[in-house]
Amino acid sequence: MRWLLILTIAVMLSACSDEPWNDPYSKALSGGKVVYSSFSERPKHLDPARSYSSNEYAFIGQIYEPMLQYHFLKRPYELTTLTAAKMPEVSYFDAQGNRLAEGSADIAYSEYRLTIKPGIMYQPHPAFARFSADAYEYHQLNETDLIDKHTLADFKHHATRELTVDDYIYQVKRLADSKTHSPIAGVMAEYIVGFSDFQEKIKELRSKSAPAFLDLREIDMAGLKKTDDHTFTIRINKTYPQFRFWLAMPFFAPMPWEADSFYSQPLLKKKNITLDWFPIGTGPFMLSENNPNLRMVLKKNPHFHGETYPVEGDPGDAEQGLLEDAGKTLPLIDRAIYSLEKENIPYWNKFLQGYYDTSGVSSDSFDQAIQFNATGDANLTEQMAGKGIDLMTAVTTSISYMGFNMTDKLVGGDSERARLLRRAISIAIDYEEYISIFANGRGIAAQGPLPPGIFGHREGDHNHYIYHKQQNRLKRKSVEHAKQLLDEAGYENGRDPETGKPLVLYFDVTASGPDDKARLNWVRKQFEKIGIQLVLRTTDYNRFQEKMRKGTAQIFWWGWNADYPDPENFLFLLYGENSKVEHGGENAANYANPEFDKLFVQMKNMPNGEQRQQIINQMIEILRKDAPWIWGFHPKAFSLFHQWYKNVKPNLMANNTLKYKRVEAEIRAQQQQQWNQPVVWPLWLIGIVLVLSILPAIRIYRQHEQRRAK
């Protein structure tokens, strides 16, 4: 009985600990210069030649280093050096190899001279470990060697070496290798000299034999020339100014041949030790833990070459504290821990408890976090503001739209009848209402294909076919006006003139959940407003893609995120030569207008300036008139972050911003303790009741013992 009483008291006293009981991190993972974040699904590709999604870039952007990057603070977006010693030097030549001036009509090819900084080292990796100058320790492994090997950490020896331009050249060759399955191989084949020929050479070699490792160093690509270990050139067909933006993407990050040789071993693949699982780079961080069922951990690369925080930014950045770390050595944190969170609500609760540093705003938590004032501006609720949480918003460089298949005999084509039909539908689809209902106000209605932040977008300009100004505010034209356009098109009261029945159109889309059902019902009602019956043809993603490739869809839902901040990256979506059906390109609407195409060719390689702006204005006017898209909206990103999380500025182009982040760990620890005080009075109450219930038993026990003693 005595021991039961002691145990009860001990349990009650343990409730007096100062440590939060609900801390999801072990002591080994808690505290210090650490960023806490999450992921909802394991990234599929951590190979920079294959990766092309944001959840993958969140990791590889911190590990790999292309030659260029975007300035963290400056807007409009500005390219600057990363591993490059200076910005690319571009020369222009005619077909005979004579040097030409920029802008010459006779340019046959451009040559980019690229120089990297000396002394940059790779992260420690077993692929570099050697027995001697000529023999690598882990490039010819057998089953016995791998008995106890399950991750890179199980290899006893790790080494490093200096980055050279050979690694950048090797990566470009990997982009051309069909074995890599790079999503940009088709684009690069159009521009990089010798790329297509290299592809054919590789196919031929692989058809003759299937070696586990094909050393790409031994096969030349005509457009790649090495000058020395730190300088090389890339030759581009004609001119392609946007190529400099590609040099800032992970696709053009270096890949050492040693890593390709190491990871090509079939026995390692059986153990899932692959480049898609264990990346290798020169960046500020390295992936130290990859457990897709629990967490992923980035830790500081001990061989990182060093970089400093920017010393200048935009007006107002200093006032917002964004230059407090100017000149300091990067990265400003030691680790970043990403925990698996499949559901929004648990993630949100942990953010409110201080266990995550930042959070998006899902529909489930929107009303708790955000309120709109009378002018429609988003602000934090009192609860959020009271916790010292800040809000950052930014219109994304992307567009979500509905498209018409311009090869369709009813909604497509360049007849006035079809144009009027498309414009009528564009007026009826009330995207302001859609943004309010389904996006919690997080977006702005698009007036054309170019989002804010992209050169060519004109603030305040509007699509005069769809909107009119009323008291200095844009207002969508009325449903009555849309019906009038239908009448002019020959669809009086929304009826098919041939059958006399309501006009029937078809909407092809992928759908999987209840939210999708609500959205599709909303779309159907928009068409009903002007008397058109919309038939929803929902399907899985693969079937939908097949319909788009074959051109059997009529109206569809699509979107685009900018690869780089140039108008060409949006306007090419409507260039005739990029038609999905005819050319397999990204022009999903299969739109073709000779005047637009001519202007596109003229505009795409021009430098930004007044002349380019005027051409873009003409192109936008053509698109508004033809209406191949229902222009949709540009989503707005909402991000919340705690007061201890510093250097937050939206950068929709850069993928490598973790190195700029700083945390005030002491403030975080204080807030975590304050916000997670355990409610202990029920335990004390239970303890008291338990003690009181035990006392009679103790008394009876003592009386019994006393009688026995007598």
Task: Assess whether 692 and 629 both reside in one domain.
Answer: no
CB atoms within 10 A of CB 135: 9
What are the Cα distances from residue 419, in Å, to 17, 44, 83? 72, 42, 50
SS3 of 172, please? Answer: helix
Q: Looking at the domain assignment, is residue 304 inside a domain?
A: no
434 and 563 assigned to the same domain: yes
Residue 529 shares a structural domain with residue 590: yes
Place of tokens 């500081």: 300
C-alpha distance from residue 142 to each of 125, 138, 282 (Å): 19, 9, 29
Quote the pLDDT of residue 669.
93
pLDDT of residue 640: 96
Please give the Cα distance from 510 to 74 (Å, whole number): 38
Q: Please check whether residues 518 and 619 belong to one and the same domain.
A: yes
The conformation of residue 318, written as its DSSP 8-state character, comes to T
Domain carrying residue 684: 2-16+680-709
Give a yes or no: residue 418 inside a domain. yes
Q: Is the dihedral of CA 61, 644, 368, 30 positive or negative?
A: positive
- Cβ atoms within 10 A of the Cβ of 288, count? 16
Average pLDDT over residues 497-522: 87
CA distance 639 to 648: 10
DSSP single-letter state for residue 94: -
Residues 156 and 221 in one domain: yes
- Per-residue b/e over 35-62, b at no fewer than 16 CB within 10 Å? bbbbbeeebebbbbbbbbeeebbbbbbb
pTM, two decimal places: 0.86
**Residue 672 counted as domain residue:** no
Asked if 483 and 618 sit in the same domain, the reply is: yes
Per-residue pLDDT, 16? 54
User: In sequence order, what are the beta bridge partners of 634?
Assistant: 444
Determine how many CB atoms are found less than 10 A away from the CB of residue 293: 6
Q: Which helix (H) or strand (E) holds 404?
A: strand 398-404
Measured CA to CA, the distance from residue 107 to residue 12 in angstroms comes to: 83
The torsion region of residue 115 among left (phi > 0), alpha (psi -120 to 50) and beta comes to beta
Q: Which of 258, 274, 290 is the last residue of a domain?
A: 274
37: left (phi over 0), alpha (psi -120 to 50) or beta: beta
What confidence score (pLDDT) does residue 235 get?
Answer: 98
Q: What is the pLDDT of residues 652-680, one digit of tens each?
A: 899 999 999 999 999 999 999 999 987 66
Entry field: residues in the chain: 710
Tell whether 704 and 561 lie within a shared domain: no
| 301: three-class secondary structure by DSSP | coil
Say how far apart CA 558 and CA 577 lie, in whole Å: 19
In a domain, 310, yes or no: no
**DSSP result, 676-700:** T----HHHHHHHHHHHHHHHHHHHH
Please give the Cα distance from 424 to 627 (Å, whole number). Answer: 10
Same-domain pairing of 590 and 687: no
pLDDT at residue number 517? 87
For residue 272, what are the contacts with CB-CB under 8 A and spacing of at least 6?
none
Count of CB atoms situated within 10 Å of the CB of 150: 11
- Looking up residue 414, the CATH number of its domain turns out to be 3.10.105.10
Q: Are residues 595 and 517 located together in one domain of the fold?
A: yes
Considering only residues 700 and 604, tell me which one the structure prediction assigns the higher pLDDT: 604
Measured CA to CA, the distance from residue 247 to residue 65 in angstroms comes to: 10
705 pLDDT tier (thresholds 50, 70, 90): low
Kindly give, in sequence order, each residue whose CB lies less than 8 Å from that of residue 45, ignoring residues fewer than 6 positions away.
51, 52, 53, 56, 276
**369 occurs within a structural domain:** no
Helix 165-176, helix 195-208: angle, nearest 10: 70
Task: Give a yes or no: residue 668 inside a domain.
Answer: no
Q: Determine contact, residues 549/584, Cβ cutoff 8 Å.
A: yes
Q: Residue range 418-436: average pLDDT?
A: 96
DSSP state of 581: H
End-of-domain residue from the set 213, 242, 274: 274
Buried/exposed code over 561-575 (b: 16+ C-beta within 10 A; e: otherwise): ebbbbbbbbbbbbbb
Residue 644 pLDDT: 97
Q: Please check whether residue 42 lies inside any domain of the structure.
A: no
Rounded to 5°, the CA angle 421-425-427 comes to 120
Mean pLDDT confidence for 535-559: 92
Torsions phi, psi of 517, nearest 5?
-60, -45
Confidence tier at 85 by pLDDT (50, 70, 90): very high
In a domain, 505, yes or no: yes
Which of 310, 256, 320 has its CA nearest to residue 122? Answer: 256
Let me know whether 463 and 544 are in one domain: yes
Contact (CB, 8 A) for 168 and 117: no
CB atoms within 10 A of CB 239: 20
- What Rg value do the Cα atoms of the chain yield, rounded? 31
Q: What is the rounded average pLDDT of the residues 672-697?
A: 74
Tokens 């003409």 map to which residue? 618
Return the higher-pLDDT residue of 17 and 330.
Answer: 330
What distance lies between CA 696 and its chain's CA centroid? Answer: 67
Cα 365-366-369 angle, rounded to 5 deg: 85
How many Å apart are CA 134 and CA 114, to the nearest integer? 29
Pair (483, 616) in one structural domain: yes
Q: Please measure the distance between the N-terminal and C-terminal CA atoms of the chain and give it in whole angstroms.
A: 21
Where is the domain boundary, 253, 274, 295?
A: 274
Give me the pLDDT at residue 625, please: 97
Helix and strand counts by DSSP (H, E) for the chain: 22, 27
CA pair distance 49, 26, nearest whole angstrom: 35
Q: Could you tell me whether strands 224-228 and 99-100 are parallel, antiparallel, or unpaired per DSSP bridges? A: unpaired
CATH number of 93's domain = 3.90.76.10
Q: How many domains does the chain have?
A: 3
Which of the residue ranges 20-24, 106-110, 609-613 would you say has the lowest mean pLDDT? 20-24
Residue type, 656: N
3-state SS class at 137: coil
Q: Are 34 and 336 in contact (CB under 8 A)?
A: yes
Lowest mean pLDDT among 30-44, 347-361, 445-459, 563-577: 30-44
Strands 307-308 and 329-330: antiparallel
Please give the share of the chain, as a percent, with pLDDT higher than 90. 78
Same domain, residue pair 576 and 501: yes
Measure the CA–CA gap between 36 and 28, rounded to whole angstroms: 14
Kindly report, residue by residue over 469-500, the tens digit of the pLDDT.
888 889 999 999 999 999 999 999 888 888 88
